[in-house]
Each structure stands twice: as structure tokens, then as C-alpha cells.
Homo-oligomer: A and B are copies of this chain.
């Protein structure tokens, strides 16, 4: 699980979602009120399975020698309040963050968005690091919402999933659709996909896509 988490951080680099040390992935430890997360300010190249740290749902370091990611409190709050979430990702990926800066949801104008996000991608509140307000903003926005992604205002995206890999996938797809829809709208108005088609696409992709 630690090795997978290192590999998933490399995926953030590979798909251009992060620069320097600015992004993090966490994975819930099944059956325990704990999760694994990236240490703070460490280069992606320098991450090793051993360097990953274990935190509890109050965001406190439980195991590991390095300080946990400065976003640990937000991850912890999500695990504590969303029992189905097994993975959380935070990045400042360019296009998703641009929508977040304007506080504008990404409209569902692509079949790929219907597949993965099941509709528009919502905006969360402006919240400061330091207490649980980022975590609360994520949980309040994504509870009972199909989208595994939220655009935190003036900040950047958080994505969730059944495990860390699913949350990374959502982060990759989010940046891809954020970019495509931005570019589409630069050239003129874009017709949204209608609700019934979105529902059909979402249902199919969630249940049929991939290998059994």
C-alpha cells in the first residue's frame, strides 16, 4: 500500500498536475481510523514507501519520522465524515484551479464528464488552512453529490474515490475536462449535454467500463 502510494504520487507528476512538492495523495487504512499520506515538502522523486506517514482522523501523526502534509487536516476530516471514501487527492492543477479561482462550476458539456463526474463539477467555499474548514467545505459539497471532485474557491481541487487510485484517476480526468471545457468556451458558446443523456452515460460508465 505504501509502494502504491509512492507510485500514485508519480502519476501526479506524469500527468502534469503538480509542480515542485505542491500536491498530495492519501489512502485510508482499511478497518482502522488511520490513513497514509505524503510527508510535507518532500520532492516526488525522493518519496519512498518508508517516508509515507500514518495519521489518525484528527490529523495527528501516529507513525513515521517526517511531518505529514500540510493538508493532512483536510484529508482526515474527509475520512472521518465520509465512510465510503478510501482515497483523497489534492493538487493545484492549472485548469481546475483556474475554474476554482473564478468560483465557477465546470458545466457538463462532454460525455467524458458525464461518465466520470455525472454532471457539473461543483465549487466549494473559500476556506483557510489551519483548522477543519477546508475539510468541512469538501464534505459539505461532495456529500450526496455524484462528482468525486470539488473546486475549492481561490485554492484548487480535491478529489475522492473508493481508494487512492480512484481519487488520482478523478484528479487526472478533472484536469483534462477542466482544460477542454475552458478551451471550448474560449471559441464560443458550448451546448450542455442534456440531463437524461448524462444519467445514462454515468450509469453505464460506473457499472460497465473496465475489467470485472
Contact = CB atoms under 8 A, between A and B. Distances in A.
A101 interface: yes
Report the copy number of this chain in the oligomer.
Answer: 4
A187 B39 contact: no
Interface in A167-212: 169, 172-173, 176, 179-191, 193, 197, 200-201, 204-205, 208-212
A126 to B, nearest CB: 8
Contact of A19 (B39, B98, B172, B208): B172
A55 interface: no
Contacts of A128: 111, 197, 200-201
B102 A129 contact: no
B197 A103 contact: no
A67 B210 contact: yes
Contacts of A47: none
Q: Which 8 pairs from chain A and chain B are nearest by CB?
A: A41-B210, A101-B184, A98-B184, A98-B183, A111-B155, A19-B176, A101-B190, A97-B180
Given A112-B155, A128-B200, 10 more contacts: A41-B211, A70-B209, A94-B183, A97-B110, A98-B184, A101-B109, A101-B180, A112-B156, A154-B191, A186-B186
